[in-house]
Structure 1
Amino acid sequence: MQQKIAPSRWYRIIPIVFITYSLAYLDRANFGFAAAGGMAEDLNITPAISSLLGSLFFLGYFFFQIPGAHYAAHKSAKKLIFWSLILWGALAAATGMVSNVNMLIVIRFMLGVVESAVMPAMLILLSQWFTKTERSRANTFLILGNPATVLWMSVLSGYLIHALGWRWMFIIQGLPAVVWAFIWWRLIDEKPSEAAWLSPQEREVVEKQLQEEQQQIKPVKNYAVAFKSKTVILLCLQYLFWSMGLYGFVMWLPSIIKAAPDMDIVITGWLAAVPYILAIITMLVASYASDKTLNRKIFIWPFLLVGALAFYGSYLIGTGNFWLSFSLLVLAGGAMYAPYGPFFAAITDILPKNVVGGALGLINSMGALGSFGGAYIVGYLNGVTNGFGASYILMSVTLLLSSLLTMWVVKSPRALIRQRDDLL
């Protein structure tokens, strides 16, 4: 019944947030292609500095999560994302104009700072539009901007670097965010009560349902109480380990593929896109089943475990069979992305509205710290060992830890009430 109320929300809100997050992820992930496509040689970047540059984005991303999320929750997610779009588009394009490593270090760090509030702000925005039985799917359509973008970006970046060089790749892929900022401002509404394209009855029904859901969650006194709760601490650790595995994979997959015999940058682009096809499918299936059953847990930990086993399998195979190892990497990519919708829906299921913005910011900042660690350590291990076995082990272990933590902290529907009470 709830799903049939105001169906226009799905085609008015979801495409806009999908495109916006896609542009953010485009400017985040194309660095891996530049690193594999000549930037290191042109700027005399050593393997150690390349690892630092690939991960610096996430360090900037880490520091400004909570203030941005708080602003989005209590002021305006719409305004925050508008200015973020303009700034990150300009910084991404500026990456193509750098002449030395020091400039690149500053830009990569600032790009992370500017984009830091986008993810929690988007999740807060969606929580103001979609009910509990819709939220996993809504979150998934947002986060689909991640694998969907890497899918087409991988192919396009390979061709752009081949035809125009890495500098023009950054410029061409950065400027659309600046243009999109003004489209975002014109098309998005902060909440149903502000949407002129909904009928008065639709606005009233959606707002009423969202308010009734919040009445079932007892408010927490303040951020300090929420941040000290066992649930929030364990969610932070879970997302940190998960992000270590995921972004070690995302940032360095092009380099892993490019190292294979007789591999050029165009073929690398096509092959790097394959895991994200599977990721889109698994994300849609997991989010749909999660909303239907309202059991978030069972659609998170098994996928993370599969990812851990796939990385370990790639380690065992080594360099002896590229295509079998690559197939396991495809499986790992699809498995790691699948739980995103259920995971963030679980957070908003557990936490009351008065602290969910800050808690999302804290959890996402821990994910950013894990992303920094994963991107840096994987790049470092690849450079030191001249191979990928050690990084496969690292990603396998972090995903295994994340899976185990999920079993502990994310409860089944029957245990959810007790979990909420633990926050008080």
Structure 2
Amino acid sequence: MDTLGSLQEIDRSNEDFTYRKIAFRIVPILMICYIVAYLDRVNVGFAKLQMEVDLGFSETVYGFGAGLFFIGYFFFEVPSNILLHKVGARLWIARILITWGILSGIFAFVQNEWQFYSLRFLLGVAEAGFYPGVILYLTYWFPSHRRAKMFAIFQAGSPAAGIFGNPLSGWIMNTFHSVDSWHGWQWMFVLEAIPAVVLGVIVLLYLDNSVSGAKWLDANEKAMVSQDIEADHAAAASTHSFTGLIRNPMVWLMSFIYFCFVMGQYGLTLWLPTLIKASGVEDNLIIGLLGAIPFICAIIAMVLFSRSADKHRERRWHLVVPALMGAFGFIIAATATSTTVSIIFLSFATAGVLSCAPLFWSLPTAILSGSAAAAGIAIINSIANLAGFASPWMVGALLDLTHSPAIGMYVLAGFLVVGAAIVLSISAERVNR
């Protein structure tokens, strides 16, 4: 029933209903997991507002430590994604959630920069494989022409983490400061780590590894989805060896494109509280509430761009436009002289930068399939996420050097423009499916 030759045996009258059923079953829980993942990854940007003073960290120390997360991520992401493909998404995603939750809570006990460095590295090791693992997992359930919307809904977890997490972090740091002799940032790390462990248990009980194991789909629905996924795989690249992927120039091109976009993403999200504070805001809760505004704009932009990309089956310009939006937002925000102007253009930058990721993943998943996709997605994501190390470190070093965020914002804008230009160098026929 799952071969291409059995098209006439499958009733497709409920095709849209079936994919909506799958989306409602698996995407919300994955999005919630990503909200928690992103919050535990970037809440160090909020902790910095107090931790920097309490522990005597410089901007460079903070930027270097924040970026070390992505070094651990880099070394362990490919093996993590391959293991997910072998042992199943349910078990492996649950393991990732539980281990990173425990490590995130331990940040409350950091006392010096070397402990900070070590824990950021280990947090990256623990979380390695989650994001690319979910991207891979979604390719098991949705054909390429339905993925951009699903990627966007999942990716909306990052701005959602900003919308809810920024005010939450500010409130925790204000409310719990000095409770039981702990600083507000210590309480923040502990309280925001608990949901990851709880979600790990839920994932273990709830997710299915594949279409064939989904008892909530009937035989016709399973056959239809399996046929669509198989057709996708037949149209994608057939090289499955790791060495073949390493030699594939498209893998390296995709890695560099995504590197450019990740530079903008983490340069923004890890420094956003600091940028808002630099505009003249002092209260942590107000910083958190203002910091939610750019992420609200990002969710709207992500939904609009992804729906349009799927509707028109066009990938390149739907990626280039938000990248250029992000660059423009960075350039204007860098010279803003008031909090209002700063928030407006940081919102513009955030909407553009965060829209890039879900739209980007429609490119490599259109040319890779099966085990090649498992390793290829992880290779691209791990190489590109080295920008998550380079970006905050660079911004911190430039801030210490110039005492202004402007130069760092200009550099981030430049990376986004370069990434957009390279996207346009790819043939439309290769990715517009």
Task: Please report the TM-score for the alignment, with normalisation by the length of structure 1.
Answer: 0.94
Residue 130 of structure 1 deviates from its aligned partner by 1.1
1: CA distance between counterparts of 2:264 and 2:421?
14
1:63 paired residue among 72, 75, 94: 75
Aligned to 1:268: 287
2: CA distance between counterparts of 1:6 and 1:31?
37
1:346 paired residue among 339, 363, 374: 363
Q: Are residues 217 and 324 of structure 1, via their aligned partners in 2, closer, same or farther at CA, if it must alter by over 3 Å?
A: same
- Superposed CA offset, 1:38-93 (max 9, x none): 11122222222111111111121111111112222333222211111111000011
2: CA distance between counterparts of 1:146 and 1:353?
27
2: CA distance between counterparts of 1:389 and 1:416?
36
Aligned to 1:208: 227
Aligned to 1:133: 145
One-letter amino acid of the structure 2 residue matched with residue 210 of structure 1: I
Residue 31 of structure 2 corresponds to residue 14 of structure 1: no
- Superposed CA offset, 1:234-277 (max 9, x none): 11111111111110111001011112235321111111111100
1:49 paired residue among 52, 55, 61: 61
2:400 paired residue among 359, 383, 387: 383
Aligned to 1:311: 330
Aligned to 1:225: 244
1:151 paired residue among 151, 163, 178: 163
Q: Is the 8 A contact 1:23 1:177 kept in 2?
A: yes
Aligned to 1:358: 375
- Superposed CA offset, 1:77-110 (max 9, x none): 2221111111100001111122333222211110
One-letter amino acid of the structure 2 residue matched with residue 85 of structure 1: L
Aligned to 1:287: 306
Aligned to 1:398: 415
Q: Is the 8 A contact 1:220 1:226 kept in 2?
A: yes
1: CA distance between counterparts of 2:39 and 2:47?
12
Q: Are residues 227 and 89 of structure 1, via their aligned partners in 2, closer, same or farther at CA, if it must alter by over 3 Å?
A: same
2:187 paired residue among 168, 177, 201: 168
Q: Are residues 221 and 269 of structure 1, via their aligned partners in 2, closer, same or farther at CA, if it must alter by over 3 Å?
A: closer
Q: Is the 8 A contact 1:55 1:373 kept in 2?
A: yes
Aligned to 1:86: 98
Aligned to 2:7: none
2: CA distance between counterparts of 1:91 and 1:325?
34
Structure 2: stretches of 5+ with no match in the other structure: 1-11, 177-183
One-letter amino acid of the structure 2 residue matched with residue 400 of structure 1: V
19-28 or 40-49: bigger deviation: 40-49
Q: Percent identity among equivalent residues? A: 29
Residue 364 of structure 1 deviates from its aligned partner by 0.5
Residue 351 of structure 2 corresponds to residue 334 of structure 1: yes
1: CA distance between counterparts of 2:16 and 2:319?
23
1: CA distance between counterparts of 2:359 and 2:268?
21
Q: Is the 8 A contact 2:261 2:357 kept in 1?
A: no
Q: In structure 2, the residue corresponding to 1:20 is in which secondary structure?
A: helix
22-31 or 199-208: bigger deviation: 199-208
Q: In structure 2, the residue corresponding to 1:129 is in which secondary structure?
A: coil
Task: Please report the TM-score for the alignment, with normalisation by the length of structure 2.
Answer: 0.92
Q: Is the 8 A contact 1:3 1:134 kept in 2?
A: no
2:218 paired residue among 199, 210, 217: 199
One-letter amino acid of the structure 1 residue matched with residue 202 of structure 2: I
1: CA distance between counterparts of 2:224 and 2:195?
36
One-letter amino acid of the structure 2 residue matched with residue 77 of structure 1: A
Aligned to 1:278: 297
Residue 122 of structure 2 corresponds to residue 110 of structure 1: yes
186-195 or 257-266: bigger deviation: 257-266
1: CA distance between counterparts of 2:382 and 2:190?
28
1: CA distance between counterparts of 2:20 and 2:387?
37
One-letter amino acid of the structure 2 residue matched with residue 233 of structure 1: W
Aligned to 1:100: 112
341-350 or 106-115: bigger deviation: 341-350
1: CA distance between counterparts of 2:42 and 2:225?
36
Q: Is the 8 A contact 1:287 1:339 kept in 2?
A: no
One-letter amino acid of the structure 2 residue matched with residue 10 of structure 1: A
For residues 22-41 of structure 1, what are the structure 2 equivalents within 5 Å?
22-36=35-49, 38-41=50-53
Q: In structure 1, the residue corresponding to 2:385 is in which secondary structure?
A: helix
One-letter amino acid of the structure 2 residue matched with residue 284 of structure 1: V
Q: In structure 2, the residue corresponding to 1:329 is in which secondary structure?
A: helix
2: CA distance between counterparts of 1:403 and 1:261?
33
2: CA distance between counterparts of 1:416 and 1:136?
12
Q: Is the 8 A contact 2:45 2:270 kept in 1?
A: yes
1: CA distance between counterparts of 2:151 and 2:328?
26
Residue 314 of structure 1 deviates from its aligned partner by 2.6
Residue 5 of structure 1 deviates from its aligned partner by 2.7
Residue 415 of structure 1 deviates from its aligned partner by 4.5
Q: In structure 2, the residue corresponding to 1:96 is in which secondary structure?
A: helix
One-letter amino acid of the structure 2 residue matched with residue 34 of structure 1: A
Q: In structure 2, the residue corresponding to 1:5 is in which secondary structure?
A: helix
Residue 20 of structure 2 corresponds to residue 3 of structure 1: no
- Superposed CA offset, 1:324-349 (max 9, x none): 23311110100111132221122111
Residue 35 of structure 1 deviates from its aligned partner by 0.1
2: CA distance between counterparts of 1:98 and 1:132?
44
Q: In structure 2, the residue corresponding to 1:263 is in which secondary structure?
A: coil
Q: In structure 2, the residue corresponding to 1:345 is in which secondary structure?
A: coil
Q: Is the 8 A contact 1:77 1:124 kept in 2?
A: no
2: CA distance between counterparts of 1:253 and 1:262?
12
1: CA distance between counterparts of 2:409 and 2:416?
11
